[in-house]
Amino acid sequence: MKKIYLGLLVMSASTFQSQKFPDMKAPVAEKQEHIREIHGDKVNDPYYWMIDYFKKGKDSTKVVDYLKAENTYWEGMMKDTEPFREKLFQEMKAKIKEKDESVPVFRNGYYYYTRTETGKQYFKYCRKKATLNAPEEILLDVDQLAVGHPYYAASGFSISPDNMKMIYGVDDVSRRQYKLFLKDLSTGKTTDLGIKNTTGSAIWANDNKTIFYTSKNPETLLTEKICRHTLGTDSSKDVMVYEEKDKTNYIGAEKSKNQKFIMIYSQATTSSEIQYLDANDPNGTFKVFQPRIKDVLYDVTALEDKFLITTNKDALNFKVVETPLNKTGVENWKDFIPHRKEVLMQGISEFKNYLVFSERQNGLSQLVIYDRKTGKKEFLKFEEAAYTVSPSGNPEYNTDNFRFGYTSMITPSSQFEQDLKTGKRTLLKQQEVLGGYNKENYTTERLFATAKDGTRIPISIVYKKGFKRDGSNPLLLYAYGSYGNSMDAGFSSTRLSLLDRGFAFAIAHIRGGQEMGRQWYEDGKMMKKKNTFTDFIDCGEYLVKEKYTSPKHLYAQGGSAGGLLMGAVANMSPNLWNGVISQVPFVDVINTMLDTSIPLTTNEYDEWGNPNNKDAYLYMKSYSPYENIEKKNYPNLLVTTGLHDSQVQYFEPAKWVAKLRDMKTDKNVLLLKTDMDYGHGGASGRFDYLKDIALVYAFMFKLEGINK
C-alpha cells in the first residue's frame, strides 16, 4: 500500500514568524480515544496510539509515517539554514584534532590507548608491551568494523589476566543491547560467543578462561542476571550465578583493582547489596558482603588487608568505614573517615601505599590524598572559580602515580599525573583546540541565585570578554537535575561557536543533582521533584534580573531527565524563554511509570515514585509535562528523539509535540526531529553529533537573527 499522510494528518491553520520561518503548515496527528482510569481519575490520552511501533515494531507504519512527516516539516522550516548549519559543522569539526591519541594507560605489563585517524569516524584500540617504544598492536579497528552500519558501538575491551584474549561488546542497533565477542590476541581470530542482550562488558576470573557478564531482559532492558561462561563451551550452557528479583534494582559485575575479588553489585536509588567471590575460584559460591538494608547504600573497596566501605549508613553525605576481610557484616564496620555534614564523600581510588578520596564541598569537586602509612592528608588545590576534577585512568594497584582529569568552562580537558610520594604534578595532555584558542579571551564566573524558599542555587557561566550586562545579549541556560548526577563546569570546543557569536552559556546546578551534597539530591526527587523545576526558573529569572540577558534572548536546554525539566518549565513559566531545546525528553511521566513493559520503568520508582500509589500519582500528574499542557502561549521549541531510544522511548516526545500543536495558542515554531537510525545517545560516529549541535545552534541563531 502506498504510504500517504492524508489519512493521518490534517493541515494546521497556524502560521509562524514569517520574517524568520517559512509559512509552512505543520502536521497534526490523528486523535484516538484512549481512557486511562486509576485512583478514580479518568483521563483521555488521544495520542496513546503512538506507542504502536514500540509494541508492534515494523508492523506499525502509521507511527513511522507521522514521525517522517514531522521530519519533513522541520527540514522545510529550517531549510534556509542548511548552508549555515554546514558552516557551523565544519567550523566545529575544524577545532577537533582528527588524528589524535589518548594518553596511554599502563595495565598488567602493557600500555593501552585509542587513536583516531583523519577522516575516520571511529577509532582503533591499541597497545604496546612494556614500553611506549615497543611495536603497536591494533587490538580492534572499530573504523573497519563499523563500515556499512548506520550505528556502531564497541565497548568493554576486557583483557584476560594473561594478556592473550579480549572480550568486547557490540551494539549496532542503538538499544544498548550488546553481543559479546572473543578475540584471540595471538592469532587475531574473533569468535561470536553467542551471548546477546548484555551490557557490553565481561569480567575475567584469574584462570583466563572464565568470564562473568550481565544479562538484560530483552523487553524491559532491565539488568536481571549475572552469568558465568567458560570459553570453549556453548553459551546455552552458561550458568546463572545471580538473579535479581527486585525489579527496582540495577545489577552488574566488576573486579577489584587488586585482582583478588569478583564483585556483583545490586543497587536501587536508596539501597544496595554486594556479593563477592575469590577471583581464583570462579566456580565457587558468591558470598553476600552485607544483606541490603532499607535506605542504606554501600560500595566496597578491596585492599590487601581489609575492605573499605563507602556508605550512607548513619551518614547522609556518606562516610568511609573499614572491616576485616573475613568479617564483612555491618556489625564489624568501624569509622575510617567519619561523616562530615559539609562534605560529600563520593568514592575511593585505591593504591598499595595511598588512597585518593573523591569529595565534594561547596558545590565543587575535590581530591584528597591519604598516605596509608602515616595517615597524612593532602588536598589538591585549583585556582579557578568553577571547575571539575576527577580520577582518570588508574587501573594499577601497585603504583605511586595517580592520574586525574581537570577542566573548567575556559580550560580544555587536561589529564595530569601526580607522584603521590613527591607531590610532583605533570601535565600529560591537554585537549588541543585547532585553529587557536586563548582562554584569556573568555570569562567564567560562579554565581548564586536565590530560590523562592531561600536556597542559594549555584550557576556556572562563561562568555566572551566584551559581553555587556545590559539585557540585550542571548544566553543559553542548561541543566539536568535528576538521579543525583552533578552537572559540573567543563570545557567544550563546540561551545566556542556559540560564545563567539555573542551568546553566554550557563549551567544551573539545581536540586536533584548532588552538587551541594546528598541533601541536594534528596530535595529534588520523589515528592520534592518540583524544586528542580522552580530552581531552574529562579536561575533564569536571576540572570534576567542581573541583566545577563532578557526573556527575549533567554534559551533553555536539557536532555532525557533534563528534557522533563524543559517540558515542566515550558508549562510553568512559558514567557521566560524565547526558545527551549528539549532533547530525548522524559515528558510522559505517568503513562511511562504505569507501564512496566517499557524499559527501565521499575528501576525508576525510587526517583519519581510509583503512580500505583495515589499520592505519588497525583503529585506526578501535577508536574508531568504531557499532562499539564494548556491552551496558552508557549516559547519556540525544538524537540529531538530517536526511534530506537532505549532510555526514553520515541513516543514520549512525539505525543508531547502532538498535544502541544493542538493546544498552544501562539504562532511560535514547534519542531520535532526524529533520528530514524539512532537511540538515546544519538549518532555513534565521532563527528556526526556535530550536525545535531549545528541544528540546535542554528535554531537559536535563527531566532536571534544571527546568520553568519
Q: What amino acid positions are annotated as catalytic residues?
A: 560, 645, 680
Question: Residue 468, exposed/middle/buried by CB under 10 A (0-12, 13-18, 19+)?
Answer: exposed
What percent of the chain is helix, strand and coil (3-state, nearest 5)? 20, 35, 45
DSSP state string for 647-668? SS-THHHHHHHHHHHHH--S--
Q: What's the one-letter identity of residue 469? A: R
Q: Read off the C-alpha cell for 216.
A: 538484560
Alpha-carbon distance 538 to 337, whole Å?
Answer: 36
Scanning the structure block, which residue is given the C-alpha cell 569539526?
93
- Torsion angle of C-alpha atoms 253, 255, 260, 264, degrees rounded to 10: -20
Q: Read off the C-alpha cell for 496.
A: 566556542
Does an H or E element contain 691, and which?
Answer: helix 689-704
CA distances from 509 to 456, 481, 517, 536, 539 (A): 10, 7, 12, 8, 9
Alpha-carbon distance 307 to 326, whole Å?
Answer: 9
DSSP state of 576: G
Characterize 484-499 residue by residue with b for buried, 16 or more Cβ atoms within 10 angstroms of its Cβ, and e for exposed: bbbbbbbbbbbbbbbb
Backbone angles phi, psi at 77, to 5 degrees: -65, -30
CA distances from 561 to 22, 45, 349, 399, 478 (A): 32, 22, 29, 39, 12
E strands present in 451-584:
456-464, 475-478, 504-508, 554-559, 579-583
CB 9 within 8 A of CB 30: yes
